């Protein structure tokens, strides 16, 4: 099973941007040294109280120069906000810089506020996502191509550089709504799933739908599923439960507020239950969070819980959020990372 760290390059209260970058790069360096499989970079805009990670591919390029082994992934690049050709050029460039270690994770993002600030109609996000992904794949894989679509049109394009990985770096797609699982399976890409806005126990039927659609499309194998989940490992059970409490609850309240606010935005579909999920996150109890939305405990407990979730979902890997909410001190994140790499990860290799 692949083990990765989901990173937001957190900016803790009172910290400068320079301090946020310095601490985050220290965690990246530790992950490389400790043998972690992958470092995953979020894309967050206009939340200076939380993160400095607005440009995942720029940071991926920086990480490429300070690592030699660990894979580097975007989780996720928000495609509807991107210019397809510029994005393809940057993806290929980063893949060259890291000698083929890039994983290109993509998605739409669930918050309409970012779209509005960028001047992009959230109601267009699904169509823009599909069109942008198609163009990027063609630009990376074809010597020349032309394209005429709803949002973009190109004539006789030749992209340089091309990526190391052919036809393109591995593409993984974030899946949230039921139809997205089937769409991604039909395209033949692995998926990211997450339990931030729902429970871990809700994911199994969706994963089953993904695998069924994968088989109907005639792809080899059964697809691949990667879970993004808050993980906290500590020396004692009490420490593991209490140290992340304030931070994770802060995060869930924040996401709940933004999810509820986006429920009436153009393009937000009723099937996604945004208002209901947002309200639930604003009132959720910490004991329920521990049961349904986090994996916490001593290394032995975390191993047992991960084995259970892996077996339920048929997981191929995890993206462990070691500082959900950005409030966990740097030294505690470093300890959780060390315990994850030294005492949990070897049990799955």
Mean pLDDT of all residues belonging to the chain: 93
- Read off the tokens for 67: 């690592």
94 has which bridge partners? none
CATH architecture group of domain 2-348: Alpha-Beta Barrel (3.20)
Q: Up-side HSE of residue 42: CA atoms within 13 Å toward CB?
A: 22
- pLDDT single digits (tens) 194-209: 977 678 989 999 999 9
Pairwise CA distance, residues 95 & 203, whole Å: 31
Give pLDDT, residue 266: 53
Residue 199 region by backbone torsions, left for phi larger than 0, else alpha for psi between -120 and 50, else beta: beta
Q: Tokens 């760290």 sit at which residue? A: 5
Question: pLDDT for 66-75, tens place per residue?
Answer: 999 999 999 9
Q: Are 53 and 17 in contact (CB under 8 A)?
A: no
By the 8 A CB rule, do 332 and 16 touch?
no
pLDDT digits (tens, 9 = 90+) for 250-298: 988 888 877 766 666 655 554 456 667 667 777 789 999 999 999 999 9
Give me the phi and psi of 44, to 5 degrees please. -130, 130
116-143 pLDDT, tens per residue? 999 999 999 999 999 999 999 999 999 9
Question: Which pLDDT score is estimated for 323?
Answer: 97
Number of continuous H segments (helices) and E segments (strands) in the chain? 13, 12
> What pLDDT band is residue 64 in, cutting at 50, 70 and 90?
very high
Q: Are 251 and 325 spatial neighbours (Cβ–Cβ below 8 Å)? A: yes
Q: What is the pLDDT of residue 349?
A: 85
- pLDDT, tens only, 306-345: 999 999 999 999 999 999 999 999 999 999 999 999 999 9
Tokens of 250: 């802060």
d(CA 103, CA 91): 9
pLDDT at 271: 44
Parallel/antiparallel/unpaired status of strands 2-7 and 317-321: parallel
So what's the pLDDT on residue 270? Answer: 44
Question: pLDDT value at position 112?
Answer: 86
- Return the pLDDT at 273: 66
Tally of CB atoms within 10 A around 131: 19
Cα 213 off chain centre by: 22
List the beta bridge partners of residue 104: 171
- The tokens describing 270, both together, are 């009723």
- List the one residue out of 67, 73, 61, 49 whose CA is nearest residue 258: 49
Quote helix, strand, coil % in the chain, to nearest 5.
50, 15, 30
**50: part of which helix (H) or strand (E)?**
none
Residue with tokens 């899946």: 175
Q: Encode burial over 244-261: b for 16+ CB neighbours within 10 A, e otherwise.
A: bbebbbebbebbbebbbe
**H or E stretch covering 154:** strand 153-157
Question: Residue 106's beta-bridge partner residues?
Answer: 77, 173
Residue 282 confidence (pLDDT) = 74
The pLDDT tens digits for 139-192 are: 999 999 999 999 999 999 999 999 999 999 999 999 988 889 999 999 999 999
Judge contact between 200 and 293, C-beta under 8 A.
yes
State the pTM of this model. 0.94
């Amino acid at each position: 099973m692949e083990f990765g760290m989901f990173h937001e390059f957190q900016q803790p209260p009172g910290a400068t941007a320079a301090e946020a970058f310095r601490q985050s790069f220290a965690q990246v360096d530790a992950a490389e040294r400790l043998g972690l499989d992958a470092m995953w970079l979020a894309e967050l805009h206009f939340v200076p109280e939380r993160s400095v990670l607005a440009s995942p591919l720029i940071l991926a390029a920086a990480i490429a120069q300070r690592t030699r082994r660990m894979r580097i992934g975007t989780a996720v690049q928000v495609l509807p906000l991107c210019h397809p050709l510029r994005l393809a050029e940057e993806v290929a460039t980063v893949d060259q810089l890291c000698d083929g270690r890039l994983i290109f994770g993509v998605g739409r993002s669930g918050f309409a506020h970012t779209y509005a600030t960028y001047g992009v109609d959230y109601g267009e996000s699904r169509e823009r996502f599909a069109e942008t992904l198609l163009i990027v794949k063609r630009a990376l894989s074809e010597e020349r191509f032309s394209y005429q679509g709803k949002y973009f049109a190109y004539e006789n394009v030749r992209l340089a550089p091309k990526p190391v990985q052919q036809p393109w770096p591995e593409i993984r797609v974030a899946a949230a709504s039921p139809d997205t699982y089937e769409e991604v399976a039909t395209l033949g890409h692995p998926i990211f799933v997450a339990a931030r806005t729902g429970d871990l126990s809700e994911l199994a039927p969706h994963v089953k739908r993904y695998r069924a659609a994968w088989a109907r499309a005639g792809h080899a194998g059964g697809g691949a599923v990667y879970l993004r989940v808050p993980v906290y490992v500590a020396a004692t059970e009490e420490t593991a439960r209490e140290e992340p409490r304030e931070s994770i609850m802060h995060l869930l309240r924040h996401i709940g507020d933004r999810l509820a606010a986006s429920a009436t935005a153009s393009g937000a579909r009723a099937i996604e239950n945004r208002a209901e999920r947002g309200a639930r996150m604003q009132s959720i109890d910490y004991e329920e969070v521990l049961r349904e939305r986090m994996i916490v405990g001593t290394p032995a407990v975390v191993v047992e819980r991960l084995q259970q979730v892996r077996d339920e979902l048929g997981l191929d890997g995890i993206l462990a959020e070691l500082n959900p909410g950005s409030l966990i001190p740097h030294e505690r994140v470093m300890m959780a990372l060390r315990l994850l790499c030294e005492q949990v990860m070897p049990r799955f290799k």
